[in-house]
Structure 1
Amino acid sequence: MEYGPLGPGHDPVKDPLKSLRGVMAGTLIMEFITFLLVLPVVARVDEGAYNTPFNIVSVIVFCVALLVMSFLQGKSWALGVDLLLQAVAIVGFIVHPAMGVMGIVFALVWAYIVYLRKNLIERMKRGLLTTQHT
């Protein structure tokens, strides 16, 4: 493993992954709000053509799952469940095309979050974080 110019450094005083978990929780809250707004779309667009009990219950259950997961980001399995929820959001095309499109948008956001997490862990291992040398 190649270290940075100052060597491996020590463990950061503040855990940067904890901050990233905060970003992930905030993203889930934004997603929760966004997908709650799918309910009026399902109920009113196209004269209520998508307004079925299955669609309404599906959106509500999905939103509750997003909200619950926003509080569980400290768990080791949370990222896997978050990514699974993104796949479910994309399958939301079944409920309404708008839900599927928003699922794709948030899946791209989560792809970037996973990239940032990987980059952060790699930089920590190489001793490239500023807080590892203060």
Structure 2
Amino acid sequence: MTTPEDPRDPREARAERAEATEYGPLGPGRTPEKDPLAGLRGVMAGTLIMQAISVLLGLTVLARVDGGAHATPGAMGFVTALGVAMVAMAFLQKRPWALRGNLALQVLALLTFFAHWSLGLVGVLFALVWAYILHLRKNLLERMRRGLLTTQHT
């Protein structure tokens, strides 16, 4: 089933969507002087550090559980590299590709199920944290677009 193409100019369609935007009582406001996403980037960096600590502590789980049966060189190397990558990514949050990198690390964190189920469980818990961070980011961007931030009107 195909849909007919919109014969309108894409700029006109964007203008109609912009007109349909429901702004706050004070209007769209202006660009905030302070970057509202800076605080969220700090939360993402802190979350990555906490996750890196949890992942790197998982090395002791691999070494101790079942007499070290899970401490294969591949598993230990993967978990170590993942923890170090998370620490490095925590310092790169201002980069435009940082969010994609963070989410890629979360996919890799879920793959730690292959090393040990407890590490995979940590990956699932932090994946839920990252889902909430993405929800907060979406909400903040929507509020900025509608002009609902206090800093847009001072």
1:4-60 deviation per Cα after TM superposition (whole angstroms, max 9, x unaligned): 011111111211111111110110000111111101000001111101111111111
**Counterpart in the other structure of 1:72:** 92
Q: Give the deviation of 1:85 after TM superposition.
A: 0.7
> Residue 29 of structure 1 corresponds to which residue in structure 2?
49
1:102 matched to 2:102? The reply is no
- Deviation beyond 2 Å, 4+ runs, structure 1: none
CA distance in 2, matches of 1:112, 1:8: 26
What letter corresponds to residue 132 of structure 1 in structure 2?
Answer: Q
SS in 2 for 1:37: helix
Mark the runs of 5 or more structure 1 residues left unpaired by the alignment: none
Q: Which of 36, 54, 61 is the equivalent residue of 2:74?
A: 54
In structure 2, C-alpha distance between the alignment counterparts of 1:66 and 1:24, rounded to whole Å: 11
2:141 to 102, 121, 125: 121
After superposing the two structures, state which structure 1 stretch, 102-111 or 6-15, moved more: 6-15
Distance 2:119 2:110 in 1: 7
Query: Corresponding residue for 2:103?
Result: 83
Q: Structure 1-normalised TM-score? A: 0.97
Match of 1:112 in 2: 132
TM-score (normalizing by structure 2): 0.85
Aligned length: 134
The unaligned stretches of length 5 or more in structure 2 are 1-20
Give me the CA root mean square deviation. 0.8
Kindly, what percent of the aligned residue pairs are identical? 60
Query: Greater relative contact order (Cα 8 A, min sep 6): structure 1 or 2?
Result: 1
Larger radius of gyration: 2
